[in-house]
Amino acid sequence: MNLDNPYVLKYFQQWAVWWVEFAGLDGLRVDTYPYNEPGPMSEWCKAVRAEYPKMNIVGECWDYNIPQVAYWQKDNPNPNGFNSNLPCVMDFPLERAIHTALCEDQVWWDEGMTRVYTTLSYDFLYHDLSNLMIFFANHDHARIGDSFNGDARKQKLALALLATLRGIPQLYYGDEMMFVERTDCPSHDGAKRIDFPGGWEGDSCNLFTEEGRKAATGLYAPASDLYNYAKTLFNWRKGCKAVQEGETLHFLSRKNEGARNITDNSYSFFRYKDSDAVFVYVNNNEEERSLDWDHYREFVSAPVMGRDVVTGEVITLQNGVKVPPKSALIVEFERP
């Protein structure tokens, strides 16, 4: 479509308004956003948002180069003066970092959870961190159950990161239960975009219901546990301002092993506002880790008492707190 033609551009603006009114849409996703002519698409975004100021528009800017992704977000201070008027972009660099890091066990200094730390260290390049769409898989990527080789622990780590990092989380259907690709489909896309078990006649299990998830076996045996974990995290997130609106301070630990400088494959961070905070520790190792709370004295100088978000138990964050292998500790507390 020739969006340089003012009549075609006006048509695009009008159909967007028509669909929003007809279907009561809350937001729009624009596929392959940079494929379009930049100038006319900027005018399109501006026109739609003029009609619906609270409407969010998400652009698929599929690039792993952070400055390139940041370029397409509204009001980014681009050297050439271009303003896309696109309020939200998809954080593909973070998606790849999470996906790759959780599949690495033996790591060098720049691998494993260092990938997530490094990616987030470039957050200063984005104009609006609160309006980044974060995710760890979508309809164009391999199913997460295949990527993680059926390891429910890795799936929980991915869910923990998605629920606690800055931005707007998107969870692709079935990833809360670690869906896998079909093996009887000749189409690669068709194999990834599988039917939801329980929605069709003849399905052997029904993952729509609690009873069905508990009864699931084989590939979907972890479905109930994973579903409940995701439900707990994202219901908690809806009321946590420190995660929704707060700042981030993150930490990485490295160690020397012989002649090698390696990471211990853990990653920790605080999400915080003036009066409250959330501490997240991601242990991507096959061994237990103990907290070195002195490591975080830049943020808090003494042990603090908080609530484990997943279990609901009261916990004191201090030296020696144990974090099991391949697990995340998420604790909310009031700032001292």
Domain ranges for the chain: 6-237, 244-334
CA 153 to chain centre: 16
| CATH annotation of 244-334 | 2.60.40.1180
In this prediction, residue 260 carries a pLDDT of: 56
To which residue do tokens 């501006």 refer?
46
Nearest to 57 by CA among 69, 81, 82, 74: 74
3-state secondary structure of 233: helix
In this prediction, residue 262 carries a pLDDT of: 65
To which residue do tokens 């991601």 refer?
282
Q: What is the pTM of this model?
A: 0.94
pLDDT beneath 70, residues of the chain: 186-187, 254-262
- The domain defined by 6-237 folds into TIM Barrel (3.20.20)
Nearest-angstrom CA–CA distance, 331 and 314? 9
Look up residue 273 and give its two tokens.
């506002």
Nearest-angstrom CA–CA distance, 306 and 278? 9
Which residues participate in catalysis according to the annotation? 31, 60
Nearest to 139 by CA among 62, 53, 227, 36: 62
Q: Across the strands, what pairs with 255?
A: 262
Helices (H), 86-134: 92-101, 114-120
In this prediction, residue 3 carries a pLDDT of: 94
Q: Are 251 and 296 in contact (CB under 8 A)?
A: yes
In this prediction, residue 336 carries a pLDDT of: 85
